[in-house]
Amino acid sequence: MTTIFHITSRNAWLEATVLGSYSSDTLATEGFTHCSSADQVQRSARKFFKGKTDLVLLHIAQASVHPEVRYEAAGSGELFPHIYGPLNLDAVFSIEDFEVV
């Protein structure tokens, strides 16, 4: 099973559990939700979440994601998984408190 990861605020995740799906801010502005592989999580966190608290890390079973998942190159050329639509909650198999280190 391929696992991809997404960092979000605890409040955004709690809101998703009420709404029945998760939509990141970037889904509205960029058309997709940014995700990472296990090796990319902390680098992404340091770049985009430095100084933020009350975060959670979503563990997502890629094969269970209903919207399309595409691996696309960042400015560095490294490939990152992007989810092109609202994330179905049943694809998330684990949620953990997350701290940027």
Q: How high is the mean pLDDT of the chain?
A: 97
What global pTM score does this model have? 0.95
| Structural domains of the chain, count | 1
* 81 vs 94: CA distance, rounded Å: 18
Positive or negative, the Cα torsion across 63, 64, 70, 74? negative
Whether 1 has a pLDDT exceeding 90, the answer reads no
Domain range for 86? 3-98
CATH number assigned to the domain comprising residue 69: 3.20.170.20
Render pLDDT for 30-70 as a digit per residue (tens, 0 to 9): 999 999 999 999 999 999 999 999 999 999 999 999 999 99
The pLDDT of residue 74 is 87
